[in-house]
Amino acid sequence: MSALKITKANFEQEVMQSGKPVLLDFWASWCGPCKMVGPTVEEVSEETADQAKVGKVNVEDESELARKFRVMSIPTFILFKNGKVVKKAVGVQSKEDMMGMIQES
């Protein structure tokens, strides 16, 4: 399963009401580091599908969500568990770092 496209419309259902931890990648199409880490985000999504959800939030389309979670630079990764932010990492993250965020939750 590839990373979910998270929008204001599906945020409540996909993230806040999720029974699994949710790792969100806040990104933009013009962001070089975001493009670089994109395939890794997809890999993590595939490999953790049974234990977590992975989603992508385009900060240009979803500026309200970016503001709500104080995303100042991208890429930013935020891990939600039971509707609460439990971890945040700014900048390019390795596959191991992303997997670690999910497994530590």
- The sign of the torsion formed by the CA atoms of 65, 70, 76, 81 equals negative
Please report, for residues 11, 31, 80, 93, the alpha-carbon distance to residue 35 in angstroms, rounded to integers and kept in the order given.
22, 6, 23, 12
Burial of 19 (C-beta count, 10 Å sphere; 0-12/13-18/19+): exposed
Q: What angle do CA 69, 84, 80 make, to 5 degrees?
A: 80
Q: Which residues are catalytic?
A: 31, 34
According to the model, what pLDDT value does residue 57 have? 98
Closest CA to 55 of 93, 22, 10: 22
Residue with tokens 């670089």: 36
> Rounded distance, CA 72 to CA 83, Å?
21
According to the model, what pLDDT value does residue 18 have? 96
According to the model, what pLDDT value does residue 61 have? 97
Q: What is the pLDDT of residues 9-23, one digit of tens each?
A: 999 999 999 999 999
- The sign of the torsion formed by the CA atoms of 53, 58, 63, 66 equals positive
According to the model, what pLDDT value does residue 105 have? 73
Grade residue 104 by pLDDT with cuts at 50, 70 and 90. Answer: confident
Q: What is the pLDDT of residues 50-75, one digit of tens each?
A: 999 999 999 999 999 999 999 999 99
Average pLDDT, the chain: 96
Looking at the predicted structure, is the pLDDT value of residue 1 above 90? no
